[in-house]
Copies of this chain bind each other. A is one copy, B any other.
Amino acid sequence: MLQATLNGDSVTGVAGWTDPEEPVLASATALAAELADPIRLTALQLLAAEGPHTMSRLVAALEVSAPRLGNHLARLRAAGLVEVEHAGRHAIYRIARPGLADVLAALSRYAGDALPTARPGREVTADDIAHTCYDHAAGRLGVALLGHLVERGALTAPDGRDEELALGPDPAALAALGIDPAALDTGRRKPATACLDRIHRLPHLGGALGARVLDRLVEQGLLAREEGTRVLVVTAAGRRDLPRMVPTFSV
């Protein structure tokens, strides 16, 4: 029988701290093991940020063979991280539990912060800070923007269950950007979506709302589109005002 001490109390017959049978520990290491593969992690990040995907859409996005992805998805299903719904001959995968988005976000944030800043060929570029993704802003700015709007209650956080983001209880943060969500002309587009940032591996704001926000920032002279590229240049005014408007964004 084991004998150990825990903060002065003796705990007899209790399994050790590292007993792989400990339920929370086993569950945590199993989860970490699922995240420790580029394909599985990217698939989960895509599903968590952008909502359900069919198998074939994932195959195209990840550029891997179907059996290879299928094996990984089978693992993720067995681990209870994703769920499948079959529609005809298509298989629609989605995140099983919304809470996973928090884990993925924490992981990506740490991974981004922990990067040795000036790697060969990987120094911080203007592109890294802000660039367009279709017609909305991506990069550090796009990620910070979505985080800001979610934190202020203007939008609900992406949790991978749905394709679109719902408006939150308090539109003040959107109003502060000069946007009235009720007056948004969405056309046939989804009003607000999350879109996985390719560099930072965190969701940024897309959809009609994302496009409108970018237009406003350009109108206000805070950002400038660079002709022929996808780079968004932060103007002098933007360098002054953006960190005030979006507190988690710097430079």
Q: Give the A interface residue count (CB, 8 A).
A: 64
The answer to whether A27 and B114 touch (CB under 8 A), given A38-B18, A42-B17, A198-B17, is yes
> A102: nearest residue on chain B (CB-CB)?
B106
Q: Does A188 contact B (CB under 8 A)?
A: no
Are A16 and B63 in contact (CB-based, < 8 A)?
A: yes
- A111 is contacted by which of B8, B27, B134 (Cβ under 8 Å)? B27
The answer to whether A41 and B32 touch (CB under 8 A), given A9-B133, A25-B201, A63-B18, is yes
Interface residues in A62-106 (C-beta closer than 8 Å to B): 62-64, 80, 97, 99-100, 102-103, 105-106
Give A108 to B32 CA distance when docked, in angstroms: 10
Are B113 and A109 in contact (CB-based, < 8 A)?
A: no
On chain B, the residues within 8 Å of A62 by CB distance are 16-18
Tell me the number of copies of this protein.
Answer: 2
> A14: nearest residue on chain B (CB-CB)?
B198
On chain B, the residues within 8 Å of A2 by CB distance are 63
The answer to whether A25 and B8 touch (CB under 8 A), given A18-B64, A102-B109, A110-B99, is no
On chain B, the residues within 8 Å of A133 by CB distance are 6-7, 9
> Can you list, as one digit per residue, whether each of A109-125 has a CB less than 8 Å from chain B (1) or not (0)?
11111110001001000
Q: In the assembled complex, how far is the CB of residue A228 from the closest CB belonging to chain B, in whole angstroms?
A: 13
On chain B, the residues within 8 Å of A27 by CB distance are 111-112, 114-115
The answer to whether A24 and B63 touch (CB under 8 A), given A6-B198, A18-B38, A42-B18, is no
The answer to whether A110 and B119 touch (CB under 8 A), given A35-B28, A41-B29, is no
On chain B, the residues within 8 Å of A198 by CB distance are 6, 17
Q: In the assembled complex, how far is the CB of residue A25 from the closest CB belonging to chain B, in whole angstroms?
A: 6
19 intermolecular pairs with C-beta atoms under 8 Å apart: A7-B133, A7-B206, A9-B132, A9-B230, A16-B62, A18-B42, A20-B38, A24-B111, A24-B115, A25-B201, A28-B108, A28-B111, A29-B36, A31-B107, A31-B111, A80-B114, A97-B110, A99-B109, A99-B110
Name A's B-contacting residues (CB within 8 A). Answer: 2, 4, 6-9, 16-20, 22-33, 35-39, 41-42, 46, 61-64, 80, 97, 99-100, 102-103, 105-115, 119, 122, 132-134, 195, 198-201, 206, 230
